[in-house]
Amino acid sequence: MSQPHSFDLTGRTAFVSGTSRGLGERFALTLAKAGADLIISSRTLASLKDMEKQVTDLGRKCLSVELDVRSMDSITAAVATAKSQVEKIDILVNNAGCNVRKPATEITWDDWNLVVDTNLRGTFFVAQQVAKEFMIPAGYGRIINIGSVTCVAGYAGLAPYGASRGGVKQMTMSLAHDWGKDGITVNVLAPGWFKTSQNRVMYEDAGWVEYLTERIPLGRPGAMDDLEGPLLFLAAEESRYVTGQLLLVDGGISVGATRALPKK
Q: Which of 140, 161, 211, 241 is catalytic?
A: 161
**Burial of 62: CB neighbours in 10 Å, binned 0-12, 13-18, 19+:** buried
Instruction: Report the candidate in 91, 199, 96, 189 with the shortest Cα–Cα distance to residue 146.
Output: 189
Instruction: Answer whether 222's CB lies under 8 Å from 196's CB.
Output: no
Taking residue 177's Cβ as centre, other Cβ atoms within 10 Å add up to: 12
Active site residue 161: yes
SS3 105: helix
Taking residue 153's Cβ as centre, other Cβ atoms within 10 Å add up to: 18
Instruction: Answer whether 33's CB lies under 8 Å from 56's CB.
Output: no
31 vs 56, 84, 132, 228, CA distance in Å? 12, 22, 23, 9
95 vs 19, 41, 69, 123, 145, CA distance in Å? 8, 10, 10, 8, 7
Q: Would you name the residues annotated as active-site residues? A: 161
